[in-house]
C-alpha cells in the first residue's frame, strides 16, 4: 500500500511479499538498510530528540491518513480477534517470567496477580470501537510501536530515525494509540508523568503543520483518550 500510493512514511522498500496458509509464517523480503542501521536497546530511555523524531513519523502517518481515503476500503484485522487468537497478554507475561524475575517474591506475586486479573483488566474489544466511543476521526495506526520496531542510524553521536518495521497489526484506530505505546515503552516514568501533555501538544503541532490546517480532532481529545483506562493498561 505504501509503495503503490507513494506514501511518505518511513517504511523499508519491500521486494517480496508472500502469504502463508500457516500462522505467522508469511514471507517479507525488504531492502537492506545497512549494518549501521539498528534498533535502540529496549532498556534504554529515549531522548527528547529521539522521541520527537518518532512523533514526526507518527504525525506524517496520520496526515497521510487524513488526506487520503482509499486506505479505508482495506480490510484490517480487528485487534480483539488478534489478541484472542494469539493470547498476546500471555505471551507478554511469559516473556517477563524469567528465572531471575520469578526469584524475586514481590515481582513474582505481581506477575501472578496480573495473570489472574488479565481478562478483566485488558478489554481489547474497546480498542476497535474507541474512535466511535470518543467521537474522533480514525487514522492509520501502526499498532505495535516500540523500540524493537524502530531502526536508527547513528550520525555524530546522534540517532536518526531511518525506518519503522513490523506493520502486521496496522489498523484503523485512534491517534493516541501509537503515541501512548511509545511513551510507555521508552520514556522514564517520571518524565512521562510530568511532560506527557507537552509531548502530545508537540505531536499536534507537527500534525497541523503537515496537514496545513487544523486537524479534525483536538489535542485535548487525544489527551483524553490517552488517560482513558484502556491506554493506561497498554
Q: What is the pLDDT of residue 203?
A: 97
Q: Is-contact 108 101, C-beta < 8 A? A: yes
Q: Is-contact 198 47, C-beta < 8 A? A: no
Q: CATH code at 78? A: 3.90.1200
Q: What is the pLDDT of residue 23?
A: 61
Per-residue burial over 125-143, b = 16 or more CB atoms within 10 Å of its CB, e = otherwise: eebbebbeeeebebbbbbb
Helices (H) and strands (E) in the chain, counts: 11, 7
Q: Between 189-211 and 219-226, two packed helices, what is the crossing angle to 10 degrees?
A: 150
* Domain range for 119: 2-232
Q: What is the pLDDT of residue 230?
A: 45
Helix (H), strand (E), coil (C) string for 169-214: CCEEECCHHHHHHHHHHHCCHHHHHHHHHHHHHHHHHHHHHHHCCC
Q: Which three cell numbers stand for residue 201?
A: 501538544
pTM listed for this prediction: 0.79
Tens-binned pLDDT, residue by residue, of the chain (234 aa): 554 555 677 887 777 667 766 666 666 777 777 778 898 988 889 998 999 999 999 999 999 999 988 888 887 777 777 766 666 667 777 777 888 878 888 888 888 888 777 766 666 667 778 888 888 999 999 988 999 999 999 888 889 999 999 888 888 989 999 999 999 888 888 888 888 999 999 999 999 999 999 999 999 999 988 887 444 444
CA distances for 213 relative to 53, 196, 204, angstroms: 21, 23, 11
Give the closest residue to 140 by CA, choosing from 230, 221, 207, 213: 207
Cα 216 from chain centroid (whole Å): 21
Q: What is the pLDDT of residue 232?
A: 46
How many structural domains is the chain composed of? 1
Amino acid at each position: 500500500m505504501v509503495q503503490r500510493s507513494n506514501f511518505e512514511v518511513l517504511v523499508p522498500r519491500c521486494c517480496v511479499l508472500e502469504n502463508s496458509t500457516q500462522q505467522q509464517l508469511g514471507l517479507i523480503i525488504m531492502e537492506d538498510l545497512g549494518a549501521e542501521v539498528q534498533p535502540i536497546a529496549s532498556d534504554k530511555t529515549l531522548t527528547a530528540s529521539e522521541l520527537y523524531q518518532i512523533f514526526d513519523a507518527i504525525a506524517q502517518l496520520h496526515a497521510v491518513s487524513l488526506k487520503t481515503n482509499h486506505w479505508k476500503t482495506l480490510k484490517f484485522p480487528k485487534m480483539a480477534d488478534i489478541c484472542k487468537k494469539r493470547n498476546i497478554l500471555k505471551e507478554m507475561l511469559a516473556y517477563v517470567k524469567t528465572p531471575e524475575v520469578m526469584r524475586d517474591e514481590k515481582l513474582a506475586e505481581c506477575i501472578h496477580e496480573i495473570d489472574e486479573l488479565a481478562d478483566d483488566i485488558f478489554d481489547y474489544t474497546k480498542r476497535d470501537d474507541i474512535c466511535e466511543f470518543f467521537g474522533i476521526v480514525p487514522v492509520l495506526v501502526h499498532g505495535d510501536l516500540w523500540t524493537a520496531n524502530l531502526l536508527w542510524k547513528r550520525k555524530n553521536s546522534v540517532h536518526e530515525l531511518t525506518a519503522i518495521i513490523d506493520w502486521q497489526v496496522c489498523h484503523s484506530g485512534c491517534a493516541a494509540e501509537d503515541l501512548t505505546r511509545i511513551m510507555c515503552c521508552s520514556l522514564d516514568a517520571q518524565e512521562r508523568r510530568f511532560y506527557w501533555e507537552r509531548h502530545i501538544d508537540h505531536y499536534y503541532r507537527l500534525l497541523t503543520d503537515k496537514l496545513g490546517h487544523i486537524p479534525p480532532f483536538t489535542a485535548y481529545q487525544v489527551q483524553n483518550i490517552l488517560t482513558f483506562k484502556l491506554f493506561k493498561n497498554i
